[in-house]
Amino acid sequence: MTVVVPAHNEATVIGRLLSGLLRDAEPGEMDVVVVANGCTDGTADVARGFPGVRVLETPVPSKREALRKGAAAACVFPILYVDADVELGTTDARAMCATLRADGVLATAPERALPLADRPWPVRSYYAVWSRLPEVRAGLFGRGVIAVGEEGQARLDALPSVMADDLAASLAFQPHERAVTGTARVVVHPPRTLGDLIRRRVRAVTGVAELDGSPGGRTARTGVRDLVGMARSPRLVPHLAVFLAVTLLARTRARRAVRRGDFTTWLRDDSSR
């Protein structure tokens, strides 16, 4: 398998990812390609410290271009695209490769784990609702990992360059063509502050708007029915109030970027790194 890791100033976390990913790997089992894009820190040097890891460098700070460079450098399928700030183990990567061998499955991603114990209550409340949304549970986005075979890669190659790259990748496949691998798990670190959560959501809403406006664009949307269903649980009602407040605020702020046609400003959450 090939593992492509786009990394922009991820020196503080990329070692964590690579350590877990390679810990139990057999010699030659993984071809790991780290694409350090527009880095001004030691990301490339940290990655080179892991035997067998190939490091490509580009001065252009673009995740999309980093993904393209990594794909072009891939020698074998399947290809796993992995964000530098998540945690993924060797057995998780193997499990996803096994899923891709099933008939008709072109793309897969792991179950997500969200460590929230030390996060402030508004962040915990938001994710209590978000993680239960049907589209979030079924889609491959928001996991920081997607694995594809050769046919799946052809779908990704045809995608436009958009901010919401993981959502676009998920929607490139029909529900019967994609699967969440239940035996694989990725740790996705949530923001540590409410402000950083809102920044993330503004970026997400802006990305969805860009997808809506792209040729043939379609998005995964949460319906009123989804939220009404949760409101039937008294335990979730306070969390729903926080979820709606964050969502409305993020949409209001995102409108400014959409009006300007600004689909390139990446509102990065440094608190989770």
pLDDT in tens, the chain (273 residues): 999 999 999 999 999 999 999 999 999 999 999 999 999 999 999 999 999 999 999 999 989 899 999 999 999 999 999 999 999 999 999 999 999 998 899 999 999 999 999 999 999 999 999 999 999 999 999 999 999 999 999 999 988 777 667 888 898 999 999 999 999 999 999 999 999 999 999 988 887 777 766 555 555 666 667 777 777 788 888 999 999 999 999 999 888 878 877 766 666 778 888
219 located within any domain: no
**Residue 219 parent element (H or E):** none
Q: Residue 104 maps to which CATH number?
A: 3.90.550.10
263-267 long-range contacts, CB within 8 A, separation 24+: 263/162, 263/163, 263/206, 263/207, 263/210, 264/163, 266/63, 266/163, 266/203, 267/199, 267/200, 267/202, 267/203
**Alpha-carbon distance 145 to 186, whole Å?**
8
How far does CA 252 lie from the centroid of its chain? 23
78 located within any domain: yes
47 located within any domain: yes
195 located within any domain: no
* Structural domain total, the chain: 1
Q: Are 100 and 167 in contact (CB under 8 A)?
A: no
263 located within any domain: no
110 located within any domain: yes
Range of the domain at 153: 2-118+139-190
- Which strands sit side by side in the sheet containing 79-82, from one edge to the other? 54-58, 31-37, 2-7, 79-82, 145-148, 107-113, 178-187, 87-88
259 located within any domain: no
Q: Is the peptide bond before 234 cis (omega within 30 degrees of 0)?
A: no
89 located within any domain: yes
